[in-house]
Amino acid sequence: MYQPKFHQLTFDNFHLPFGGKLDPQNRWVKLAELIPWHVAEKMYAMNFPSKRGAPALTVRMALGALIIKEGPYLQYFIGLESFQYESPFNASMLTHFRKRLKHTDLGALQEELLQRHLAEERKRAEEKNVNNDGDDGPVSTLASGPAGDR
């Protein structure tokens, strides 16, 4: 049984028992913000046609488990709300995650990430062009011909 969770964990709500905060520039924090979790949830949920059985862990946990090892940034990435010292799941769950996260689904998710990245790059380029309209740069005061033509 799987119940999609479209709740996006916010960076500020991740609790560290030893105090402090996670660095927002950390690569795992950035990656967690880039992944379209709602798209991944929909694909992952298709692996659970039955409404019976124990609830499965989230796609964020499954995908993260295939990518990471333990650590506070990685626990944030997989969607935990606070750091925990014990493993968030039994290692045997990795077998289930691999079966449920098919290569085609991961490929589709990767394509979605690529399209979002390209759209963001186009947006930045357009903003740069708008900000530079009418500005051709500094005017050169040097003659364009050879030194003997001056």
Alpha helices in 35-150 (DSSP H): 37-45, 59-67, 72-77, 93-100, 103-131
Helices H, strands E: what count in the chain? 6, 0
117 domain residue, yes or no? no
Which range of residues forms the domain containing residue 14? Answer: 1-109
On the question of pLDDT at 39 being above 70, the answer is: yes
Q: Comparing C-alpha atoms, which of 34, 81, 49, 43 is closest to residue 62?
A: 43
| Domains of the chain: total | 1
* pLDDT 10s digits, 83-98: 877 777 777 887 888 8
136 domain residue, yes or no? no
pLDDT for res 76: 85
pLDDT for res 145: 44
Contact by Cβ (8 Å): 78, 11: no
39 domain residue, yes or no? yes
* pLDDT 10s digits, 43-72: 888 888 888 888 888 888 888 877 765 677
CA-angle at 60, arms to 57 and 28, nearest 5°: 140
CA distances from 112 to 35, 40, 109 (A): 9, 10, 5
